[in-house]
Chain A
Amino acid sequence: MRIEGEYTFSGTREDVWEIVRDPEILSTALPGTQKFEQVGENEYEGRMNVRIGPVSGTFGGKLTVSNEIPPESYTLTVEGTGKVGFLKGTGDVELLDQGDGTTLMKYDGEVQIGGRVASVGQRLFDTVSKSMIKQGLEKLDEALQARSSDAD
């Protein structure tokens, strides 16, 4: 399943980069996150509660960041499993300086899902994942603005 989209942050590319690479901020941004901690240089582990239509459950998983070109782009690899199935995906994230103090994030990835999440939740997966990503990115944007107003 393909997940792609874009989002405009009200901040510079360097500031956005700091935010999206900050585990503490990330842990507050993703809806349903119960735990999110750094376990290696570019490796994170966490637990997240997800509800997709009639299917809900906790996923435990690993997030790996690779191909980092600060502050331009990176690759995310996610692997999660839980009682309701599994999820596995890779996506490329690109940050584009818009020249007006804003930054455009473009993301494009492939996600595999299996188990109950796929067999019963598939129809809603696309909508739910889009809405979760949107919520997460909005949270990050809020954090970005809070940080810049602190700096002011």
Chain B
Amino acid sequence: MTKEFIGKRIKRNEDPRLLTGQALFVDDVDIPGMLHAAFVRSDYAHAKIVSIDTSTARQMPGVVAVYTAEDMGDEWQPGPPLVSPPPTVEDVVFHSRRQAPLVKDKVRHAGETVAVVVAESRYLAEDAAEEIWVEYDPLPAVVDIEKGLEPNSPLVHDDLESNLAAHLSQEKGDYEAAKAQADVVISKKIHIDRGAAAAMENRGIVAHWDEKGQLLTIWDTTQAPIPIRNGTAARLGLSENQVRVIAPFVGGGFGPKIMMFYPEEMLIPWISMKLCRPIKWIEDRRENFYATTQERGQVHEVEMALTKDGKILGLKDDFLHDTGAFDPYGLTIPLNTQSHVMGPYEIANFSSEFKVVFTNKTIVTPVRGAGRPQGVYIIERLMDAAARELDIDPIEIRKKNLIAPDAFPYSHSIIDQAFAELILDSGDYLPTFEKAIEMIGYRQFIEQEQPRLRAEGKYVGIGITPFIETTGVGPYEGARVQIEPSGKVNLATGIGTQGQGHFTSFAQIVAEQLGVDVTDVRIITGDTAEFHWGTGTFASRGAVVAGNAVYAAASGVRKKVLKMASKVLDAPEEELEIQDGMVRVADIPRMSISLGELAAQANPLRGAVEPGTEPGLEATDYFGPQYGATAFGTHAMIIEVDPETMLVEIKRYVTAEDCGRMLNPLIVEGQVHGGVSMGIGNAYYEQLHFDENGQLLNASLADYLIPSSMEMPPRIEVGHAETKSPLSELGTKGVGEAGTIPVPACFAQALENALQDFDLEIAETPLSPNRLYELLYKKEQ
């Protein structure tokens, strides 16, 4: 039998290159004759542009070109719509408004691009950009989403009647009837605010139009190089194979680097073609805070109807969602929120209506979690409130409502972000939930440790939060696997890589099929010249969708290997085994041939081949799931709150994850660790503060706090369960966002538990030491 690699804790193939600075990032690209771009961005959140004076800047030394919207003439056009609203939901309202490469009439958020300078160096470009004088006529800004829908609100888009960007309702069963039968109805208004993705690497793009070769090469920090290639070709009137988009190593994606068609992504390639010179632009951190997409702003009014023994009869969740100045990414986020409000619980009656609101703030598109953390926060806040109201243990009320293992595939009977019925493909939730409870020692903590520490005057608390994560959505991904005469294996797939360990997990899949070592598989991701079909890395879909495409392509090559070796070795295929780079007859080891030799023979230089024979040991295949695979997990934490400073120390952090079959538990755990860190930021540190004029007040890493080792728990313990997805050969489910999704909910639960003397009820996130102090202080008054 071939050696097994899938499911093994294998160290990452890519790490030596990453850790020694040998990996290519966009800013490493340096081409002779390359020019540099700097942008003039609006200081105002909402203002008419009266005039732009570029005369001084154009005369400055080293300046090659300056462009405003006017200079683009007929070539000025807004970005493409990326995701349309679900066509199957009745009475859906959706007003598509997309960002422009350069602002023409009025600016709609601070940081919008007004002009671009191209110069011999970035320094000269920045200096010249400072000499461009833009006269604005400031307008009142739309900042608060509730006020934004009031009839007298200023309008972000003057051609619309209001700031309503979208409106969608979904119903399941009959909530009002369920409410009428309920023993108790819990209602809450919950506020969720924005944060940044704050990837370590900011965005960047280098575009190189080769006039003689008639080829445009773009290095882009994108999660989705193929849609960027196709969209760029369409915008610039080139054929798709004249555009090559390379997403090299990317220092963190987290959603905002998805196929956005940011203004810079539209402009830099266009300028390169205008000037026939390579152009580079690398975003700085302040630009990243203003101009890279953000997420999470929502206001929910929610009601839960229950029996007195804690069984949920129905749930009603109406909410507003902040989309910022434009809505290129459609309704993905609010649909995800809706999909996760019912979460892992069986809820027969559900009613949810959301309104998406335009505001004069940075555009909102998915950030790790993508609407899911909000959904989980809502349901879990209500579970805690219900447990308290009914005097039921918070664990027991959750157990009572978890979907039973024999109910899968379980339909939540609403439409999800992929416009398909939200079906949870598989799961066995209770054991994973109990695993987390056992790992953190819930009973022992509640019954012994907490009373003891309380007696010592310590405010310690515990939170335990189950959650689902819809992952691995379609439409499809592809892969091409080829064995070289050297015996090494090449794999190319269309998705980009931003640290997920693709160079290892995909290599494990290939290595297991082809009997080679994991380090013998050379992988190329995110280069459209190598593979040009697919969408991208998002929605925790890499291991599911691309992973199964890799499996299919590797299986195809395996079939070719066995068929050819059977002829060469004159033995039936069933008697052959592939191991250590050799194909051999199982019980006669000397009857063997190396994979490299077979590959050479499969590509003859002379002679004739049988008709229909394909050269080489190569196969391309695709995978598109019927619908997404849904993962489950439970996070638990024990915290201690300092009642003077409101600083929170996370004493223990435990997660139990069921992401289906694991390709590499080491990588799964790495994903969870990173996700938890982001979730802790979301819960207690990271909040973007906009003032009433739409000015972002903390656009630097000095003021916007990202958790450091000081705020992290000493360890994150990860437990595993594997309920394989029936939707694919590998049985994988995604885990890329799982670490982040339940953290704010779990944190709020632990805080309430630690501060039960204060009778604290938390109905907002992110919190902060300041905000917690205010909540407690107000309570005391």
**A interface residue numbers (CB < 8 A to B):** 1, 83, 85-86, 88, 112-116, 118-120, 122-123
Q: Are A122 and B44 within 8 A (Cβ)?
A: no
Of all chain A residues, which has the CB nearest B111? A119
Contact of A114 among B43, B286, B289, B698 (CB under 8 A): B43
Q: Are A118 and B695 within 8 A (Cβ)?
A: yes
Question: Which residues of B in the span 476-501 have a Cβ within 8 Å of any Cβ on A?
Answer: none
Name 28 interchain pairs, CB-CB below 8 A, sorted by A: A86-B43, A86-B44, A112-B691, A112-B695, A113-B695, A114-B43, A114-B44, A114-B45, A114-B693, A114-B695, A115-B43, A116-B43, A116-B286, A118-B691, A118-B695, A118-B696, A118-B697, A119-B286, A119-B695, A119-B696, A119-B698, A119-B699, A119-B700, A120-B699, A120-B703, A122-B695, A122-B697, A123-B698
Residues of B within 8 A of A114 (CB): 43-45, 110, 693, 695
Question: Which residues of B in the span 13-54 have a Cβ within 8 Å of any Cβ on A?
Answer: 43-45
Q: Are B703 and A123 within 8 A (Cβ)?
A: yes
Residues of A within 8 A of B697 (CB): 118-119, 122-123
**B interface residue numbers (CB < 8 A to A):** 43-45, 110, 130, 138, 286, 289-290, 691, 693, 695-700, 702-703
A53 to chain B, nearest CB (A): 9
Residues of A within 8 A of B44 (CB): 86, 114
B113 to chain A, nearest CB (A): 14
Contact of A83 among B130, B693, B703 (CB under 8 A): B130
The 9 closest A-B CB pairs, nearest first, are A115-B43, A119-B699, A122-B697, A118-B695, A114-B43, A83-B130, A114-B695, A120-B700, A85-B43
Q: Are A122 and B698 within 8 A (Cβ)?
A: yes
Residues of A within 8 A of B290 (CB): 119
Q: How distant is the Cα of A123 from the Cα of B110 in the complex, in angstroms?
A: 18
Residues of B within 8 A of A88 (CB): 138
A52 to chain B, nearest CB (A): 13
Of all chain A residues, which has the CB nearest B689? A122
Residues of B within 8 A of A119 (CB): 110, 286, 289-290, 695-700
Q: How distant is the Cα of A83 from the Cα of B697 in the complex, in angstroms?
A: 17
Q: How distant is the Cα of A88 from the Cα of B693 in the complex, in angstroms?
A: 11
Known contacts being A114-B693, A114-B695, is A122 close to B703, with CB within 8 Å? Answer: yes
A83, A119, A120 interface centre (most CB from chain B within 10 Å): A119
B252 to chain A, nearest CB (A): 22
Q: How distant is the Cα of A119 from the Cα of B285 in the complex, in angstroms?
A: 11
B43, B110, B703 interface centre (most CB from chain A within 10 Å): B43
Q: Are B286 and A120 within 8 A (Cβ)?
A: yes
Of all chain B residues, which has the CB nearest A119? B699
Of all chain B residues, which has the CB nearest A125? B697
Of all chain B residues, which has the CB nearest A85? B43
Of all chain B residues, which has the CB nearest A57? B130
Known contacts being A119-B286, A119-B289, A123-B703, is A112 close to B693, with CB within 8 Å? Answer: yes
A58 to chain B, nearest CB (A): 11
B50 to chain A, nearest CB (A): 12
Q: How distant is the Cα of A92 from the Cα of B290 in the complex, in angstroms?
A: 33
Of all chain A residues, which has the CB nearest B135? A81
Residues of B within 8 A of A1 (CB): 691
Q: How distant is the Cα of A123 from the Cα of B689 in the complex, in angstroms?
A: 11
Residues of B within 8 A of A113 (CB): 695
Residues of A within 8 A of B696 (CB): 118-119
Of all chain A residues, which has the CB nearest B47? A114
Q: How distant is the Cα of A1 from the Cα of B697 in the complex, in angstroms?
A: 11
B43 to chain A, nearest CB (A): 3
Q: How distant is the Cα of A123 from the Cα of B698 in the complex, in angstroms?
A: 8
Q: How distant is the Cα of A120 from the Cα of B289 in the complex, in angstroms?
A: 11
A85 to chain B, nearest CB (A): 5
Of all chain A residues, which has the CB nearest B44? A114
